[in-house]
């Protein structure tokens, strides 16, 4: 179930605010600005819509000038593996949603939330990783080194 969020949360006293610095903050602000953009298989822009990897690639290109591949599996090979207990805002989270590992990707926001472009209708939205659907399908996480600079 989508988690409601608004841009005011970015300037709140949330305990994760201090971790939303530099490029990671830019990534999250950019990602949130695309909330509601419709899903489109193979999509990679706000005009065409997004699939999951198109969304992540677009956000990282716009916000951090990083070029990522248009494939969740290929993106999962980048950066450094991160244990779930050490996730930070801006990390990439991966799920098995198509009976294949690393078939879905989103951007971790903090507080067990991530933003993604789901394939089951609707548009870009925030979800709770503690929902049973996502818990069962979590495959791992990666941190893109350039974001921590």
- Catalytic machinery residues: 52, 104, 116
CA 51, 56, 62, 65 torsion-angle sign: negative
> Tokens for 54?
């198109």
For residue 87, give Cα distances in angstroms to 41, 61, 65, 90, 129: 28, 21, 22, 9, 12
DSSP notation for 29-69: HHHHHTTTPBB-TT-EETTTEE-HHHHHHHHHHHHH-----
- Structure tokens of 134? 């996502």
């Amino acid at each position: 179930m989508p988690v409601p969020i608004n841009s005011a949360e970015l300037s709140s006293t949330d305990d994760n605010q201090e971790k939303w610095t530099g490029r990671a903050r830019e990534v999250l602000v950019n990602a949130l600005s695309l909330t509601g953009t419709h899903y489109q298989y193979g999509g990679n822009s706000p005009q065409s819509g997004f699939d999951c990897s198109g969304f992540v690639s677009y956000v990282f290109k716009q916000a951090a000038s990083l070029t990522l591949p248009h494939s969740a599996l290929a993106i999962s090979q980048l950066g450094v593996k991160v244990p779930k207990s050490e996730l930070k805002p801006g990390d990439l989270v991966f799920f098995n949603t198509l009976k294949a590992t690393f078939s879905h990707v989103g951007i971790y926001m903090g507080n067990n939330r991530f933003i993604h472009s789901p394939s089951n209708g609707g548009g870009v939205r925030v979800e709770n990783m503690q929902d049973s659907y996502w818990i069962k399908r979590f495959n791992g996480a990666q941190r893109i080194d350039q974001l921590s600079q």
